Structure 1
Amino acid sequence: MEKALLPYQHLKIQLEEITSATNNFDEQNCIGFGGFGKVYKGELSHSKGRSMVAIKRKHGQGIPEFLKEIMMLSDYRHENLISLLGFCCEGSEMILVYELASRGSLNRHLNSPLLTWTQRLKICLDAAKGLSYLHDPRETHQRLIHCDIKSANILLDDQWNAKVSDFGLSIMGPANEQHSIVVTRAAGTRGYVDPQYAMTDTLTKESDVYSFGVVLFEVLCGKLCITYNRNGDVVNRFVPTWIESYKQKKLNDIIFKSPPIQPMDQSALETFSDIAYRCLNESREDRPTMDEVVTELETALQCQEFCEKKTTFDYEEMAKTVEPPLQYSSKGELWRILSKGGLLNNGKTWFSLNKKGEHCEMISFAQCLDSELASKWSFDYNSRFAVGSYHYENESVETRVKPQFLSPLITYTVNLVFKLVHPFAWPGHYHIFLKYKLQGETKTSISYLADEREDGWLICELYQFTSDHQIVDLKILFEGFFNKYTSIQVEGIEFRPLEKSLPYGLYSNLQVEHKDEHQRVSDSDANWEEKLPSDYEDIMRTSKNRVRWTTKKEAYSVLCKGFFINNGTGWFSLDKNGKKCHMLSARATCVQKDTRQCWLSLPKSRFGEAVQFGSWPMLIISNIQSKLVSSETTYGAYLVYKFSDVESRVKAPFSVCGGKYFGSERRSWYLYLVSPQTPVIGPNADQNTHNAVNRPNIKGLPQQRNDDWMEVEIWQFRIRTTTTTPQLIPLRLSLSNCDGGISGLIIEGIEFRPI
C-alpha cells in the first residue's frame, strides 16, 4: 500500500494531528456513520490550508476501497464532487479527510419544511452535474461508475450546494468511449440498486442513472425509498408505488406537502417527474444519459424559479400578442414556452427568455430597412420571419433597429444573425470581415469572426450597451466586406444579454507568473522529496553547463529554479506542484516559408535572441520529448511573443492550422495576439469606449507575463501513461494572420506547462 500511496504524499496528514482535532475521536465530534465507518468533524491543516473538515475513520471496508477513494478524488475534481483534503495511514488506522459539508447528507432533509421546491430542484441539479462529470465520455479523465448513488451519499454545504461523495465502490473505465462500461460482481445499497443487476450480475453507467432516479423520487416524495424496523428488516419499498402513481397520473397522492412551502409549479413537476421516471426504466437502453438528466432538471428548475419570481413585467399580457396566441396552464409552462421563443409585433419581432429570465429580442431585417426590394429576399434559409432573409452582398446598407422589450440595466450584445451563401470556412469557424458603423460616426469597425448558434444560424457581434427603461433606437450603416468578397443571407439584428464571464480584454491585464533563473525556492516546501521526479538525474545531465548538486534537496532546488538544456535552445524547470515544464527557443521551433525573418539580439530574452517575422505563414515544427513532461497531465503550448511598433496592424485573429503541411487531416482554430474588442455604445457620443468582445468559441486569448513578454495558448496535449521508452510528441502547426500579412511580431519561443 505504501508504494500505491507514493504519488499522494502531499495529502498525507499525521495521525497525531487527527486525534488532536477530534479529541481522540470523541463521540461528541461524531457527525455521521456509514458502511465505511464513523465520520467526525475537527479543525485541521491540510493541502488547501486550514479549516473545519470531515474525518472518516475506516471500519468495515478494506484497503482497496481506501486506496480507490484517494486515487479517484485526487483525479476527479468538480464543484459538485466532495473534495479530498488529505488522508492518514498509520498502523491499523485508515482515515480520509474531506471538505466539511456542514448540512450533512440529503437523506436527512427529505422531509424538511425549510427547503423550497427551488432549493430541492437545485440540489438535484447539482448532484446530476457531478454524476454527469463522472460519466461524460467527452472529458479527458477515465469514465467512472459510482456504483452507490443514494441520498445518503449526496452531501450539502452551508449554501445547500450538493456534492456527490463516497467513491469506495466506484469503478473506472476508458475515457472517450461512446458506450457503457460493464462491471461484474459490484455492490450497492438495497433499494437503489439497478434491478438488472439481479438478473445479469453486471452494472453499467445506466445503473447509476437508475439509482439517481430513485433519489429524484425521494426528493419529490420527501421520504426514503425503503423503511426498516428496529431489527433491520424492510417494512416498506416505495419505488413500485411511485412508478405506479406516475403511470396513473396520481403524483398528487405521493408528492411531498408542507404548509410553509409553495406548491410545485405544474410544468416543473411534469418535467421533473418525467425524467425521474425515465431513469427508472426497466430497460437500460431506454434510460437517459446523465447529460440528458441535467438538461431536464435545468428546465424544471427554471420553470419553478419563474413561478416563484416576482416581476413587474406582464408576461401573461404579452402572451396574448404572440402569434399564434399561447395556450398554457401555469406560469412555469408559460416560461417554458417563452424560453423557446415566439413572434410579436405582427411577426416582425422574435422574443424569448434566457436561462436567467432575461429578455432576448431579434428584429427582422425587413423591419430595419427603409425600403424592401423583393428580389433581395429568400425563403430558402428557414427564417423564423415570414418575409424570409435578406441577400446582402458587398454593398452599403442603412438600417434602423428599435427593440422594445429589453430587460432594464442588462448589458446586451447587438448581433447580426445570418447564413453564408457560399460557405468557405472550415466547420465551426467563419471569418467574414464585415465593416459597419453607427450613422454619424466616422470610425468604421470590423467584425472578423462569426459563431454558429444551436439553430444553425451564424452571429457576429457588432456592439455592446447597457439597457435602460427607454426604447433603444440604433442606426447602423453596413459598409460591406473588408479584404475579400462574401455574400450572406441576413435574418435580423439580435439583442442578447451578455454572458457573465471574464471579459477577454481583461486577460491582457492579468500577469502570468513567469519563473526565471534568479527566482529563489522557499525552504518551507515540506513535500519537496515527493515532488522530485524519479528521472531527475537523467534530465539534469542534459543541462547545457552540467549543473551541480550534492544532495537531493539541492537537486530539487536547481530543478525549481530551472536550467538550460539541448545546448541552450531549451529551458527546463518544475512548477510548484512538481510538474515538469520546459520552453523551446524560437530558433528551435519557428520556421518561415521564405527568408523574410530577422534574428534579433535581445539580452532580456531568456535565450538572448528572438526572431522577428516579416511574412506569413509561420510554421511551428518540433518534437516534444516525453521525458520533459509529466505523465497523465494536460499541457498547454504557449507562444511567447511581443511586438515592435505595429501592434495596431494585428487586430484580426490568427488562424492556426494543424496538419495542412504534414500529410495529416487538416484542423484549424483561431487565436488573438492582441485582445479582441467590440465597440460599446454609451448614452452620449463621447462615452463610446471599447470593451472586450464576448466570444465563447475562441480559446486563444493573449495574456501579459511578468517578464514583459506576451503569451497565448496555441495547442494542448497529454501524455496518457508513463513508459520506460522515450517518446516524441510531434508539434506541427501553421499560423496565418486572417487579414493577410504582418510584420513586427517578435517570437521568443514556445513554452510547455501544465494547465
Structure 2
Amino acid sequence: MEEAYLQEFLQKFQHLKIQLEEITTATNNFNKENCIGVGGFGKVYKGEVSHSDGRRVVAIKRLDRNGKQGVPEFLKEIMMLSDYKHENLLSLLGFCCQGGEMILVYELACRGSLDRYLNSPHLTWRQRLKICLDAAKGLRYLHDPRETHRRLIHCDIKSGNILLDDQWNAKVADVGLSIIGSANEQHSLIVTAAAGTMGYIDPVYWMTYTLTKESDVYSFGVVLFEVLCGRLCCTLDNKRHVVKEIPTWIESYKQNMLNDIIFKNPSIEPMHPSVLKRFSRIAYQCLKESREERPEMSEIVTELESALNIHELLQNEEFTGKWNEQLYEYQQMIKTAEPPLKDKSEDELMDLLSKGVLLNGGKTSYIFSSKYNSRFAVGTYTLYDNDVKYTQVRSQFLSPGITYTVNLVFKFEYKLQGKRRCDPISLKYKLQGERESSISYLAYQREDGWWACELYQFSCDYRIVHFQILFEDYGNQGNINDVLLVEGIEFQPLENVEHIDEKQLISDSDANWEEKLPVDYEDIMKRSKNSVQWTTKEEAYSIICKGFLISDNETERGIWFSLDKSGKKCHMLSAALVWSSKKKVLLPESRFGEAIHLGDNSYIYVTTNVQSQLVSFETTYACYLVYKLPEDQSGFKAPVEVEDNKCDSVDKICYIYLTSPQTPVIKPKAGQNTHNPLSRPKIKGLPQQRNDGWIEVQIWELRAATTINMELRLKLCDKKFSGLIIEGIEFRPI
C-alpha cells in the first residue's frame, strides 16, 4: 500500500527521477570511501550523475530506514524543494525511489557544513559575516517576504544545516522537518509534537509545543552567536557532561563583556567594535524570550548587510583615513538631514551614511509626483523624447580624491513587455559650455528596480564644483514611444571591477579531475585534427582542459573543444564553418588559422546545429561572438539588435555592444583619458577583452537538451558591419 502511494505521489516529479543503477554506479555501490557525511536522514555520498540540469558531481543522501527520518521527510523534501528555489537554499537535483531505496540528490556544497569551520583560523570575519548574511537571505525567502508563496517554517536551523560551496557561499539545507504555514498571514502558529535539535530549539516551544517563524529566528540567533564565539552552542566538558553556552553568551552581552567570549585567532584581524556592536545586537535580539520582541528575518538581513558593508569600508585604509579626517564635516552635514539627525555617535553616523540619508529637506531640482516609490518625497521628473532640460549638480558632499560615476537614475513610465535589462536608450546630453554632445546608449536595471545610465566620471578635489547638464534628446530605440521618470543624478564612488576570465584553464592537479572527465572523451579525442596523443586518463584530461581542434563530420572545418572548470563541455565553432560564404582571411593568431572579414553587411545570421557529443546534457549555455574591430571603431558604437528567429515570445530581441560604451570624464587630470570605459560593472551584452587578444560579447543563452539549435539575426543599429573580423561562435556553460 505504501509503495503504491509513493509512486502515485511521485508521478508529477518524474522529471527529477534518477535510476538506481546510475546512483549505485556513481557511489561504487555506496562504498564507504564515497561517504562524505551522515545525518538524521542517513548517510551522504559523493558521485557524478546525470539529472535534469546536466551531468555533475552531486551529494547523494540515502535514507536509513532505522534512522530518525523516513517517508514523510523524503516526500516533503521533494515537494518543497521543487517549489522553493533560491540561491541560498540547497537545490534538489533529483531523487530515486526504486528497489526499496529512497534517495535524494542535491547540488554538492563541497566545503560541507558551517559547524566544521566555527573555530577555523582560515575563515575571516568578512567570510563569517557573508555566510551569516547568505543564510539569513535563504531563511527570509522561506518566511515569505514577498507574500508569493506559502510560508515555510524550517524547524531545524543550526550551523550543521548551513552548507558552504567552493566560494564559501552559504545555503540553507535539510527542509525535511519543515512545516508549511499560510501565505499572506502576519503570524503562522503550528502545533507540533517534535521539532529541531537540542540547543537550537525555541524555549517557548517547550511550554506551548507551538512553532512560529520566530522559532526559526531564535535558532538563527544561536547560529549567529556560534559564529561570533567560534564554537557550538552545546559542548562536552571533561566528564562528558553537556555544557549549554547560550546563557553565558546572553549574560556576556548584557554585561558588555563580549570580549570574553568572541572568537580570537592571531591570523584573523579582529572585528571592528562598530561591526561587533551591530552583529551582536541583532544576534541578541533573536534570542529574546518573547517571540513578539524578536526581529523579522528581513530586519536581520538588513542589519547583517549593514554590518558587512561597514566591515568592508573599514578594511579600506584609504576610506578609514578620509573618515578620520572628515568626521567633523560629516557630523555637521548630518544635521541637515530629513528628518533631523543630531548628536549621533561615530558608529551611528557610519551606519546612517552607509544606508544613505536625505539632506536639505529631501529636496531636488525635480518637483513632480512621488507615486513612483522614489527615495525623495518630491518624487520624479518626467523626461520626454526630444525634450530639452537642464539640471544643476553640486559636489559639496563628495569626498576629495575619490573618482565618482555620475548616473542618471530613472524608470520607464510604461512597463514595456519587451523591455530587457541593458536595453539601449540613446540619451543625448552635454555639459553647459561644451560644444560636442555625448550619447549614452546603455541603461541597466539595478537590484532596487531603478534603471541607471552612466553620464560622466568625475574626480573630486577640495573645491565645490557646480555644473549644469543639458539633456537634448531621448530617442528610444525600436520606435517605442516611452518617457523617462527621472529620480535624480547620483554620485557613486568608482570601484575597480575585476573581470575574471571565465575560460581560465583548469589545473592539472585538480583533485577531482577523474570525476570531470567525460565518459566519451576517447571518441572526442579521436576526432582531433592534429592526432593528439595521451597515455593516461590524467594526460587526456589535461589536454581537453587546454582545448584542441576537432573536425566537423560534414564540412571538415574546425571546432575547438575543451572543458570548463566544473567539467562541462565547451566548444567554439569556426566563423568559416558558420559563415561559409563570407570572405575568409588567414590569421595565424586564430586557433583556426583563419577568420572571416565582413564587408557591406547590414545583417549577419548565426545558424548552428551542434551535435550532442559537444554539449553537456540539459545544460544552459551562453553563446559568445568572438571578434576583432578595425582601427576605425566609430561605426560600431551603436548597439546591435539580436533577434531569435526561432522564438515567438516578446523576449526574442535583446541588445549587445561591440565596443565598450565610452564615459566622458569631467575635468580630466593631466594625461588622463577624456573618455574612460573602465570599472563598469560586468553586464550581459557588454564586450570583454580576452587574454588571447580577441574580444567577446555574449549574444544569447539557451538550454541544450541533447543538441544546440540556434538561429539568430544580428543588426547593427543605423550602421553596417564593414571591417569586422570574426573568429567564431563560442558556447560555454553558465
Fold match by TM threshold 0.5: yes
CA–CA distance in structure 1, aligned partners of residues 426 and 413 of structure 2: 15
SS at match of 2:338: coil
Partner of residue 682, structure 1: 667
Contact 1:272/1:300 (8 A) holds in 2: no
Q: Is the aligned partner of 1:581 residue 2:573?
A: no
1:600 alignment partner, one of 572, 584, 589: 584
SS at match of 2:675: strand
Amino acid paired to 2:552? I
Amino acid paired to 1:406? L
Partner of residue 326, structure 2: 312
Amino acid paired to 1:416? L
Distance 1:198 1:533, change over 3 A: farther
Partner of residue 751, structure 1: 730
Q: Is the aligned partner of 1:499 residue 2:495?
A: yes
SS at match of 2:131: helix
Q: Is the aligned partner of 1:433 residue 2:419?
A: no
Q: Is the aligned partner of 1:735 residue 2:714?
A: yes
Q: Is the aligned partner of 1:276 residue 2:286?
A: yes
Distance 1:146 1:677, change over 3 A: farther
Measured against aligned partners, the alpha-carbon deviations of 1:463-483 in whole angstroms (never above 9, x if no partner) come to 112212221232433332468
Distance 1:66 1:495, change over 3 A: same
Question: Map of 1:215-364 to 2, 5 A cutoff?
Answer: 215-218=223-226, 225-226=233-234, 228=236, 230-234=238-242, 236=244, 238=246, 252=254, 256=258, 268=278, 272-273=282-283, 276-277=286-287, 293-300=300-307, 310=324, 312-314=326-328, 315-326=330-341, 331-345=346-360, 347-348=362-363, 364=365
Amino acid paired to 1:715? W
Partner of residue 411, structure 1: 403
Amino acid paired to 1:580? K
SS at match of 2:664: strand
Partner of residue 69, structure 2: none
2:118 alignment partner, one of 91, 106, 109: 106
Partner of residue 132, structure 2: 128
Partner of residue 656, structure 2: 671
SS at match of 1:735: strand
Amino acid paired to 1:496? Q
Root-mean-square deviation (CA, aligned residues, Å) is 6.2
Q: Is the aligned partner of 1:443 residue 2:419?
A: no
Question: Map of 1:130-149 to 2, 5 A cutoff?
Answer: 131=135, 149=158
CA–CA distance in structure 2, aligned partners of residues 696 and 494 of structure 1: 16
CA–CA distance in structure 2, aligned partners of residues 536 and 253 of structure 1: 64
Q: Is the aligned partner of 1:625 residue 2:625?
A: no
- Cα shift at 1:699: 2.1
- Cα shift at 1:402: 1.9
1:564 alignment partner, one of 538, 541, 551: 551
Contact 1:562/1:572 (8 A) holds in 2: yes
Distance 1:4 1:436, change over 3 A: same
CA–CA distance in structure 2, aligned partners of residues 262 and 136 of structure 1: 26
- Cα shift at 1:413: 0.8
Partner of residue 187, structure 2: none
Distance 1:731 1:294, change over 3 A: farther
CA–CA distance in structure 1, aligned partners of residues 583 and 641 of structure 2: 24
Amino acid paired to 1:407? S
- Cα shift at 1:564: 1.4
Contact 1:106/1:151 (8 A) holds in 2: no
- Cα shift at 1:534: 2.4
CA–CA distance in structure 2, aligned partners of residues 548 and 264 of structure 1: 59
Contact 2:392/2:467 (8 A) holds in 1: yes
- Cα shift at 1:642: 2.6
Contact 2:689/2:695 (8 A) holds in 1: yes
SS at match of 1:213: helix
- Cα shift at 1:404: 0.8
Contact 2:597/2:723 (8 A) holds in 1: no
Amino acid paired to 1:629? V
CA–CA distance in structure 1, aligned partners of residues 470 and 155 of structure 2: 57
Contact 1:279/1:287 (8 A) holds in 2: no
Question: Map of 1:5-20 to 2, 5 A cutoff?
Answer: none
CA–CA distance in structure 1, aligned partners of residues 604 and 202 of structure 2: 56
Distance 1:227 1:540, change over 3 A: closer
CA–CA distance in structure 2, aligned partners of residues 691 and 423 of structure 1: 32
Partner of residue 76, structure 2: none
- Cα shift at 1:685: 8.2
- Cα shift at 1:460: 1.4
CA–CA distance in structure 2, aligned partners of residues 570 and 128 of structure 1: 48
SS at match of 1:677: coil
CA–CA distance in structure 2, aligned partners of residues 528 and 669 of structure 1: 37
CA–CA distance in structure 2, aligned partners of residues 663 and 60 of structure 1: 48
Distance 1:688 1:537, change over 3 A: closer
Distance 1:311 1:190, change over 3 A: farther
Distance 1:190 1:668, change over 3 A: farther
Amino acid paired to 2:674? T
Amino acid paired to 1:215? V
Partner of residue 48, structure 1: none
SS at match of 2:130: helix
CA–CA distance in structure 1, aligned partners of residues 691 and 249 of structure 2: 64
Partner of residue 637, structure 2: 651
Partner of residue 472, structure 2: 479
Matched length: 605
CA–CA distance in structure 2, aligned partners of residues 698 and 552 of structure 1: 41
Distance 1:326 1:473, change over 3 A: same
Gaps of 5+ in 2: 1-22, 49-55, 61-86, 91-109, 143-153, 178-182, 184-193, 263-270, 315-319
TM norm structure 2: 0.62
- Cα shift at 1:650: 0.7
- Cα shift at 1:446: 0.9
- Cα shift at 1:276: 2.9
Distance 1:589 1:409, change over 3 A: same
SS at match of 2:306: helix
1:389 alignment partner, one of 363, 381, 389: 381
Contact 1:642/1:745 (8 A) holds in 2: yes
Distance 1:257 1:421, change over 3 A: closer
- Cα shift at 1:678: 0.7
- Cα shift at 1:587: 5.7
Measured against aligned partners, the alpha-carbon deviations of 1:166-191 in whole angstroms (never above 9, x if no partner) come to x9x97999xxxxx9xxxxxx998642
CA–CA distance in structure 1, aligned partners of residues 516 and 371 of structure 2: 62
- Cα shift at 1:325: 1.7
